[in-house]
Amino acid sequence: MEHRLERLGTLIQEITGKLIVEGKIKDPRVHPFLSVTRVEVSKDLTWADAYVSTFRSESNLDKGVAGLQSAAGFIQTQLAREMHIRQTPKLRFHADVNLKDAFELIQKIDEIAAETAESKKA
């Protein structure tokens, strides 16, 4: 059962990501730089919690999550068409700042590495 939930979550993540990238979600708050990082499906298949991230500002992320939540009905309809399961989970979208934090951490590491290289030259 656990493996099935993971596969279902991955499928929801892929389909939702495809809808975002292809611009099928018409809400102006949903931009193509949004990324669905993971989806956790409840054991009874009632809910699917989708975590969304972006490397843009946190306000853009919050707006994007609100836009996705607003379009949840449309996304669920698309999921039902592609997944062919008896019950499509209701979607809840959440901001996931881990990607942005990781991106910023990598930038800081690169800056320190560049400073270190400069100081070794001097």
106 CB neighbour count, 10 Å cutoff: 10
Give residue limits of the domains in the chain: 2-97
The predicted model scores a pTM of 0.77
Mean pLDDT of the chain: 89
**CATH code linked to domain 2-97:** 3.30.300.20
Name the residue with higher pLDDT: 100 or 104. 104
Give pLDDT tens digits for 26-82.
999 999 989 999 999 999 999 999 999 987 777 888 999 999 999 999 999 999 999
